[in-house]
Amino acid sequence: MTHSDPHAAPLRIAFPGEPGSFAEDAAIGYFGADTAIDRLSGFADVVEAVAAGRLDRAVVPIENVVFGTVQQVQDLLAASDVTIVGEVIVPVRLCLAALPGQRIEDIERVYSHVQALGQAEAFLRSRPWSLLAATNTAGSGKMLVDRDERGSAAVLSPRAAALFGLEVLAADIQSEPRNRTRFLVIAPPGTQVVPTPDVAMHSTLVVAVRNEPGTLLRVLEVLGAHGLNMSKLESRPSRTSTWEYVFWMDIDADMCAPTHAAALAELRAAAVDVRVMGCYARASEPL
């Protein structure tokens, strides 16, 4: 977590989605319950506001233990010039909730974000419900209330269910007991992070290589030669060339530090382009 000057103006902070969402949990967990935190409707709105400097910080989900990468967010970040300055990991507890007075036998339709539906798939497939995608988990609960929709339920967090006055029909329906989502904290372009002593650092890079045999191998050889551990490697379509790809890499090191300048220079020599998305403190795993 970064620390600001107590005499400076308060940071403008936001999360995507509705109150009670896991994104709000992430923002509260990172910035503190007493911090003023706003919300915007979607991922694109948040990333755009940070890139334009209308927000100082925001949280966005990047990956889930069960469902993998949130590719929409990954693509939005790659298309912007925001800086990743932190991360936070949020436990995911899901419940099935509906308007008061509904029974589980009354339910015909279940709404939630597609990732939450996937994270509770084993439970949801146990009955012949229609599964319908919503913008986010908490938003699905709000929608039930706004529509006064009977015969429907939402998959969301227990906190969100309570916030919207819904009754829990089934608790802890997530398939993975230790399910969790990793959120990134983003800031305007050029924001610098001061490393915290004795805290492990993490770096996210986007690397473009030539479409030729051995080009990715040369990049990986640079990491190996400098003793750098790559904890994640994922390809995404390039936005500049058809059937070309870029690689997202998470490195267990502070690639912004002078001690890794030589490794970064060699990476840039081996690739077409290397963009350091951010160097930031690694989040501790929640209990």
Residues acting as catalytic residues: 181, 183
Q: CA nearest 48: which of 17, 22, 79? A: 79
CA 179 from centroid of its chain's CA atoms: 14
Residue 28 contacts by C-beta under 8 Å, 6 or more apart in sequence? Answer: 35, 37
Q: How far apart are CA 29 and CA 101, in angstroms?
A: 33
- Asked if 25 and 157 touch (Cβ cutoff 8 Å), the reply is yes
